[in-house]
Structure 1
Amino acid sequence: MTDRTVEADDFADLASYVALPRVGSLALSPDGTRLVVVVSELSPDGKRYQGALWEVDPTGHAPARRLTRSAKGESTPRFAPDGGLLFLSARPDPEAKSDATDKDKTALWSLPPAGEARELHRPAGGVADFVVARDNGRVVLVSAAHPGLGFGEDDRERRKEREDAGVTAVLHESYPVRYWDSDLGPSYPRVLASAEPVGAERVERLVDLTPDNARRLGESPAVSPDGAWVAFVEQVDVSPAYGARQRLVVAAADGSSRRIVAESPEFSFGSPAFLPDGRSLVALRIFESSADEPWHHHLIRIDLESGASTDLAPDFGEEPEHPVVSPTGDAVYFTGSRLGHQPIWRVDLASGEVVRLTASGSYTDVAVGPDGATVYALRSAWDATPRPVRLDAHAVEQEAVELPAPGAVRSLPGTLTEVETVVEDGRTVRAWLVLPEGASAERPAPLLLWAHGGPVASWSGWSWRWNPWLMASRGYAVLLPDPALSTGYGRDFVRAGWGSWGAKPYTDLMEITDVAERLPEVDGSRTAAMGGSFGGYMANWIATRTDRFSAIVTHASLWHMDAFTGTTDDSYYWIREMGDPLVRYDRVRDNSPHLRVADIKTPMLVIHGAKDYRVPVGEGQRLYFDLVRHGVPAKFLYFPTENHWITSPGNATVWYETIFAFLAEHVLGEPWRRPGLL
């Protein structure tokens, strides 16, 4: 692949669109001289995406260069102190026996500054994640093993016994049993520390820090710079009705000791990061949700000797996420949504001052240079694909300096703007609006309302899956609103829709749609609505409340709230907000769209994947059946091998083709054209 750019024409042709390079997973070397990202592109057969490691010049002077190439692809770059680049890949090891039972598992590899990559460790359960001690070079791995068995040969033998016997059954003795698109068990993650710093040789000895774990971990561990200590999250059951909370544990990397450093009956804790001296942790303290109050985060510092915690940003009104400690120990950086953006924020540990580093865009993968003067990250926006960027660590509300890498946007098939309105309770509701090329008072564009998922989320950055420019290239204006429940507008904005999804979130969407329809560039007589996950719920709810739209597309959507609360992979989360249906049936009655199916008149396209555990496929099946039996014009696009998202290039293409055809029929008045591969 060359240094491919993104042009407006790429959105008019789905084959070109799915072939665009996609940048992710940034890593910075300890000395700050090397920057590596993962660039994903289509495999030669076009059926999946392959990741490759690319080196980006931190100064921005040299073009990016590709470092790796394999059929299995590479992911998760991390630097070791000696300059070696560690990464994960299921590529075959030329030095291993060809009949190894774990030959297809994801392994830990090392690419030295000069020379070929070499496999370091390939456990029977594969490597799911890893971190590296900045100064010491010790590696902490996450890999799965069967409960009650030692990690390594005992676990490998159990896997072989199950395979030879044809056993796939799993006996659960705790909840949950699934997560997103994965079945939990029969093996569960372990946190394992290498006995020595990792170099060019294979990792032979690992210390199991969680030998008794039989739960999902859920977050990456953290390791102190000197490699002596490892921090990780443990789930602890509270009650059958409430579920589990998370606590923070710190263990000696040699396995000699462990202790709980943060646990509370009122909070969960997560996202640990060590300060440079290893004596303190930065973490998130999470107020868990209830029927009356949404969850929210606080950024805290925990003294490991005394256990005392300090709120680092008590007046910060948004939700801090993904804290990163400066190597100099003077500041903590984090991200948090704000008004349709996801800025990087900096809190000074001496003064407590919180400043916003970035003026615009959505940021992930924050990394701080060794002298604390420079910050690197991936930046995206609705008019910019994810790109590696450089920032001044002490400047305020700055625009990032983009670094050369594949996939830069050179042109788009339209323009991006914003609209807003003040609703009845005084809140300001805003939205991104994409207008197609040529939209004007003389040639107004049909409007597509897209409701975001979450529900506690926002439209704050580029999405390859929900991409409005594909619609703009076909002449649609696309409205991306943040109604009640959205992040980035203060906690009262979330509270406005908490436990009442069908109330203010719905009226907010309708009022901001009214604003868009009044624009001269928009044709308010030709409109459609769509959404996925919670956005799909909103699409369903809209269908029961109004016939103002010509068509509605609903993907991975909630339909029967009572049934969903018991079959989703994380029932505790939803039951905390909506309440036990036997006790708070009023919330089911007031918010479940299935009770209002007789009011639907708008043609609907229902889309669902069979492997979706967050919103089980039964929701889509029940919705489609209810529409058909009530005489609503409807189609059901079903993906037997997909999950909550549609991830394979071929299926993603068919997903868009079907939506285009459905909207063309009902919004544009064109004949129905069934996609060729359906």
Structure 2
Amino acid sequence: MVNDPHALHHRLVDRPRLTGLAFAPDGTRLVASVQTLDDEGTRYVPELWEVDPAGERDARLVTGSRRGDFAPAFAADGTLLFLSDRDPQDPPGPALWALPGNGEADRIAHHPGGLTAFAAASRASTLAWTAALMPGAKDPDTHAALLHERDRARVTAVLYEATPTRADGMDLGPAEPHTFVLRGDAPPVDAGAQGLAGAGDMALSPDGSLVAYTRAPTSTAPDTNVVVIADASTGEERRTFSRPGHQYYVPAFTADGTRLICQRLREETYDSEWQVTLVALDPESGEETDLLPDFDNWPWPGRVLPSPVPGDTTLWFTGDERGHRPVFRRDPDGTVTRLTASGAYTSLCVTPDGTGLYALRSALDSPPRAVRLDAGKPDQEPVLLRAPGDLGPLPGTLTEVRTTGDDGFGLRAWLVVPEDTGPGNPAPLLVEAHGGPQGSWSDWPWQWNPWPFVARGYAVLLPDPALSSGYGQRMQERGRGQYGGRPYRDVIALTDAALARDDLDAGRTALAGWSYGGYLANCAATRTDRFRALVSHAGLWNLEAFEGETDMHTYFREIFGDPRTRRERYEADSPHLDAENLMTPMLIVHSGKDYRVPTSQSMALHHDLRRQGVPAKFLYFPEEGHGIDAPNHLRLVYETALNFLDHHVRGEEWRRPGLL
């Protein structure tokens, strides 16, 4: 039924979303960050919920918290810390607040323009945060004066000199992120600039004496960042770490403060694959040790969680593995053990004695849920805790499809089959290609979730082709330098394998994708007529134009090279060069503030479709970015895509969504 408020895509958008966990140092409190719809239902707002670590009591709102509080963490004394702009007084922007177990919240740190991230020492009262300073500003006061002067003059211009202009889909500057440290009653200390594209990655040693943060790459070394370890009292740099062609992320000190654990990444080039590992940095000697030298899952390990017990070098981390994202444990002798049997885990927390873990678990058939784990038991199933986020029953079955690529490499995909599907009632098939390309269908997606399509009667195939994460280094090697080559062929091979089932209708198929997946949909548009409909959301169309426009210009140029001297690389993989082959009806989705894949890519595709006389629709969101965030906009993406597929795949009458 059109515009049915009970349809699954409405339920998907309306339900609360669990986004993070924070665990008290004494092991008594577990606080969840939850996104819920505002009163008008037009945007998501954060809330803080108290979750019973034992799983016996229902969750409840944190006493003394308000809507809009976010990023919870605990101070060493058990005080709950969070960011919020709940106080309307100057300066505007999120401030750092402290909420004791009983009492009212106090604002303990603020900055003109707001704080973007913070950290707390685990055994001291030291705090650190990220906040910006204008060029020429020596402290928050002069920064505030410069902001006021710009606002009074109605100036929003930025002068870029030797820095990137955009990163992560956002305009950069003119203010630059800095790391500030607060120890006791002394004024906050500026420990150094992170660079315009700084990610806010920082950590405090347990005793609060050291602060570590990452400094963004520069125009002279665009593929290399720096880890800075500084004195927390003075801001003086004690040690820096960098390696040409590598970048470090998510630092975390060990419980005794003698090592800093980081994720180290070497980005893909045309001649070399992505490589990701965990390393230990020694602040005294400057030595760097690879902690996962023989671990070939290519898991893209997430934020590492060191043991809270001083002297214990056990670590926990997560990473993609064949359609899942398990929790892994690394023992002091280097042994790595997978602790979870299924699902995708994030937001790890550890108990004070190191014997238990808390996390958020999701899967392709489950939104994020709060769970408890044993910190050492292999391949376990978690204990589910009572917390917001349950979506209720889903209308189908999740299974797998396996086949081999044209090089003999084993391939796999998830397949969701609707209820009441069988040989006598085969379902039409929608293939959904994931973004990335380094990514995997392993966790619950809020955007391009398969279940609204399953509820409408479609089977949905979720393939992991070449360049997907979680399949070892070989999966990267076999797709290197072939953006539109082997990954595309893998998607087609998995589609053929799925359609060998007698409960799927090979004559009624469609392909959809977002970002890199949208690029694969665009490749399909110029190479085959096997699909009845295609959906391209923020997909690449003209690779040479994209190289000069994207906020990831440097990274993309590393892969494809200079188009003036490496034109053959662009011509081999750019679908716009084969626009005369366009023939399949297409729905294009794109946003006006998408800096990762600029809107001009879809504009050009739309022009080519119209010139070729191909049925096409363009769903445009002027104020959204690379993804779709606003609830009503997300509903419209699902409703428009469902109606478009129904029209072209099932032969139903086209129904224009009411708000469009």
Q: TM-score, normalised by structure 2?
A: 0.96
For structure 2, list consecutive stretches of 5 or more residues without a partner in the other structure. Answer: none
Q: Find out whether 1:435 has 2:417 as its counterpart.
A: yes
Q: Letter of the 2:39 partner, please give it.
A: P
Residues of 1 paired with 2:64 and 2:10: CA distance? 23
Q: Find out whether 1:486 has 2:474 as its counterpart.
A: no
CA apart distance, 1:256: 5.0
What is residue 12 of structure 1 aligned with on the other side? 7
Q: Quick check: 2:401–2:497 contact (8 Å CA) kept in 1?
A: yes
From 254, 260, 277, the equivalent of 1:298 is 277
Residues of 1 paired with 2:517 and 2:586: CA distance? 14
Within 5 Å, give how 1:308-347 maps onto structure 2.
Answer: 308-317=287-296, 318=298, 319-328=300-309, 329-347=312-330
What is residue 575 of structure 1 aligned with on the other side? 557
CA apart distance, 1:237: 3.2
Q: Quick check: 1:341–1:360 contact (8 Å CA) kept in 2?
A: yes
Q: Quick check: 2:265–2:274 contact (8 Å CA) kept in 1?
A: yes
Residues of 2 paired with 1:173 and 1:232: CA distance? 23
Q: Quick check: 1:52–1:69 contact (8 Å CA) kept in 2?
A: no
Residues of 2 paired with 1:112 and 1:493: CA distance? 49
Within 5 Å, give how 1:63-462 maps onto structure 2.
Answer: 63-67=58-62, 73-92=68-87, 96=89, 100=90, 102-103=91-92, 105-196=93-184, 205-210=187-192, 212=193, 214-237=195-218, 239=220, 243-255=222-234, 257-317=236-296, 318=298, 319-328=300-309, 329-349=312-332, 351-462=333-444
1:526-583 residue CA offsets vs partner (Å, 9 max, x unmatched): 1100000000000000111100000000001100000001100020111111111112
Residues of 2 paired with 1:537 and 1:51: CA distance? 33
From 10, 29, 32, the equivalent of 2:27 is 32
Residues of 2 paired with 1:345 and 1:238: CA distance? 36
CA apart distance, 1:265: 2.3
What is residue 663 of structure 1 aligned with on the other side? 645
Using a 3 Å threshold, how does the CA distance of structure 1 residues 236 and 465 change in structure 2: closer, same or farther? closer
CA apart distance, 1:422: 1.4
Residues of 2 paired with 1:578 and 1:69: CA distance? 53
Residues of 1 paired with 2:111 and 2:503: CA distance? 58
Residues of 1 paired with 2:188 and 2:199: CA distance? 21
Aligned-partner SS, 1:513: helix
Q: Letter of the 2:96 partner, please give it.
A: L
Q: Letter of the 1:85 partner, please give it.
A: L
Residues of 1 paired with 2:652 and 2:269: CA distance? 48
Using a 3 Å threshold, how does the CA distance of structure 1 residues 672 and 70 change in structure 2: closer, same or farther? farther
Q: Quick check: 1:219–1:270 contact (8 Å CA) kept in 2?
A: no
Q: Letter of the 1:63 partner, please give it.
A: D
Aligned-partner SS, 2:303: strand
Q: Letter of the 1:20 partner, please give it.
A: R
Q: Quick check: 1:294–1:577 contact (8 Å CA) kept in 2?
A: no
Using a 3 Å threshold, how does the CA distance of structure 1 residues 39 and 72 change in structure 2: closer, same or farther? closer
Q: Name the % identity.
A: 46
Aligned-partner SS, 2:617: strand
Q: Letter of the 2:524 partner, please give it.
A: I
Within 5 Å, give how 1:477-556 maps onto structure 2.
Answer: 477-556=459-538
Q: Quick check: 2:226–2:248 contact (8 Å CA) kept in 1?
A: yes
1:596-640 residue CA offsets vs partner (Å, 9 max, x unmatched): 111111000111100000001111111101111111111111111
Q: Quick check: 2:12–2:446 contact (8 Å CA) kept in 1?
A: no
Residues of 2 paired with 1:73 and 1:58: CA distance? 24
Over aligned residue pairs, what C-alpha RMSD do you find? 1.7
Aligned-partner SS, 1:217: coil
Residues of 2 paired with 1:397 and 1:500: CA distance? 35
Q: Quick check: 2:72–2:82 contact (8 Å CA) kept in 1?
A: yes
Q: Letter of the 1:262 partner, please give it.
A: F
- Which stretch shows the higher mean deviation, 588-597 or 16-25? 16-25
Residues of 1 paired with 2:338 and 2:400: CA distance? 21
Q: Letter of the 2:516 partner, please give it.
A: F
From 616, 621, 624, the equivalent of 1:639 is 621
What is residue 201 of structure 1 aligned with on the other side? none
Q: Quick check: 1:176–1:570 contact (8 Å CA) kept in 2?
A: no
Residues of 1 paired with 2:604 and 2:323: CA distance? 34
Using a 3 Å threshold, how does the CA distance of structure 1 residues 282 and 633 change in structure 2: closer, same or farther? same
Q: Quick check: 1:346–1:355 contact (8 Å CA) kept in 2?
A: yes
Q: Quick check: 1:225–1:278 contact (8 Å CA) kept in 2?
A: yes
Q: Letter of the 1:173 partner, please give it.
A: E
What is residue 468 of structure 1 aligned with on the other side? 450
From 45, 48, 59, the equivalent of 1:50 is 45
Residues of 2 paired with 1:308 and 1:31: CA distance? 33
1:94-140 residue CA offsets vs partner (Å, 9 max, x unmatched): xx4xxx3x33x111111110122222223112010001001102110
Q: Find out whether 1:612 has 2:594 as its counterpart.
A: yes
Q: Quick check: 2:323–2:440 contact (8 Å CA) kept in 1?
A: yes
Aligned-partner SS, 1:58: coil
- Which stretch shows the higher mean deviation, 378-387 or 282-291? 282-291
- Which stretch shows the higher mean deviation, 119-128 or 393-402? 119-128
**Length, aligned pairs only:** 653
Residues of 2 paired with 1:133 and 1:530: CA distance? 45
Aligned-partner SS, 1:282: strand
- Which stretch shows the higher mean deviation, 117-126 or 446-455? 117-126
CA apart distance, 1:342: 0.7
Using a 3 Å threshold, how does the CA distance of structure 1 residues 632 and 297 change in structure 2: closer, same or farther? same
Q: TM-score, normalised by structure 1?
A: 0.94
1:170-209 residue CA offsets vs partner (Å, 9 max, x unmatched): 0001232012331100111110001328xxxxxx821111
Q: Letter of the 2:319 partner, please give it.
A: G
1:285-334 residue CA offsets vs partner (Å, 9 max, x unmatched): 32233221122112121222111122222100123231110101330111
CA apart distance, 1:11: 7.0
1:77-110 residue CA offsets vs partner (Å, 9 max, x unmatched): 00012221111112225xx4xxx3x33x111111
Using a 3 Å threshold, how does the CA distance of structure 1 residues 549 and 245 change in structure 2: closer, same or farther? same
Residues of 2 paired with 1:549 and 1:342: CA distance? 31
Aligned-partner SS, 2:218: strand
Q: Letter of the 2:517 partner, please give it.
A: G
What is residue 4 of structure 1 aligned with on the other side? none
Q: Quick check: 1:477–1:522 contact (8 Å CA) kept in 2?
A: yes
Residues of 1 paired with 2:263 and 2:46: CA distance? 31
CA apart distance, 1:409: 4.2
Aligned-partner SS, 1:671: coil
For structure 1, list consecutive stretches of 5 or more residues without a partner in the other structure. Answer: 1-8, 198-203
Using a 3 Å threshold, how does the CA distance of structure 1 residues 72 and 179 change in structure 2: closer, same or farther? farther
Q: Quick check: 2:32–2:48 contact (8 Å CA) kept in 1?
A: yes
